[in-house]
Amino acid sequence: MSAKDKAKAKAEQVKGRLKETTGKATGNLGKEAEGRAEKAKGDVREAADKGRDALKRKRGR
């Protein structure tokens, strides 16, 4: 995982957590759901990048 990809995934996760927390605090269910979705998107991006890195390491043997 390149540093740029890792930073992008982490930024999405943090942004999603922030939106989710803000939605909970204000009672805005739409914002809360949007935050959960954005966090999940960051989680998926991170998992995909980790899988890609694992394949590269395995091929390199």
Indicate the pTM of the whole model.
0.81
The answer to whether 38 touches 16, Cβ cutoff 8 Å, is yes
Residue 33 has a CB neighbour count (10 Å cut-off) of: 13
Greater pLDDT, 59 or 25: 25
- pLDDT tens for 4-28 read 888 999 999 999 999 999 999 999 9
